[in-house]
Amino acid sequence: MKQTRSLEERMADQAAELKERAHQLPAGAEREALLKRARIAETGSHLSAWVRSPGLQRPN
């Protein structure tokens, strides 16, 4: 299966969807779990973009 969108885009969209679902719920464990998953997806998106950036240098 060939992806038409980048991993970063898919993860950012997933984060936005999770946040939207979370904000429709009352405060509680389920809402917090969705917000946590959204933060993880956002972090993954940012890390993937950083790893793929041309300016990334190998640590010394």
Is it the case that residue 56 has pLDDT exceeding 80? Answer: no
**Residue 58 domain-assigned (yes or no):** no
Q: What is the pLDDT of residues 18-46, one digit of tens each?
A: 999 999 999 999 999 999 999 999 999 88
**Residue 2 domain-assigned (yes or no):** no
Residue 5 has phi, psi (to 5 degrees) of: -125, 155
Higher pLDDT, 58 or 14: 14
**Residue 56 domain-assigned (yes or no):** no
**Residue 59 domain-assigned (yes or no):** no
What is the average pLDDT across 41-52? 87
Higher pLDDT, 51 or 20: 20
Q: How many domains does the chain have?
A: 1
**Residue 40 domain-assigned (yes or no):** yes
Taking alpha carbons only, the member of 10, 13, 17, 11 closest to residue 43 is 11
